[in-house]
Amino acid sequence: MSHFVAKISFAALIALASIPLTAPTASASDWRHGPAANAPYRPVQGCSPVQAVQKARWTGLRAARVTNVTPRRIVVSGRNYRGWDQIAFANVRGCPLIRR
């Protein structure tokens, strides 16, 4: 009989402990606050020149600057360990490398 009472009390303890955990998750539906909450979502259209220069610097180009921007590509010029060099990035999201 004592095992039965122990099992019932353990089941009741687990049931009572799980009730407070489910209530906060239901009330956390709206997480956007402030002025950004009313702004419409705009996905990134393409590669920005700033992002292209950052990627060029990451690949080892020093004194990197944008030299040409077309609808299809962004060309960044600068110096590497051998001398002057150019890197071309595609003008799409993520700035993939076209030519080094």
Q: How far apart are CA 48 and CA 66, in angstroms?
A: 10
Q: Which two tokens stand for residue 17?
A: 């402990």
Residue 99, amino acid: R
Candidates 96, 100, 98; CA nearest to 86 is 100
Boundaries of every domain in the chain: 49-99
Q: Which two tokens stand for residue 57?
A: 């610097």
pLDDT in tens, 6-65: 878 877 767 767 776 555 555 555 555 566 566 666 665 788 899 999 999 999 999 999
Confidence tier at 77 by pLDDT (50, 70, 90): very high
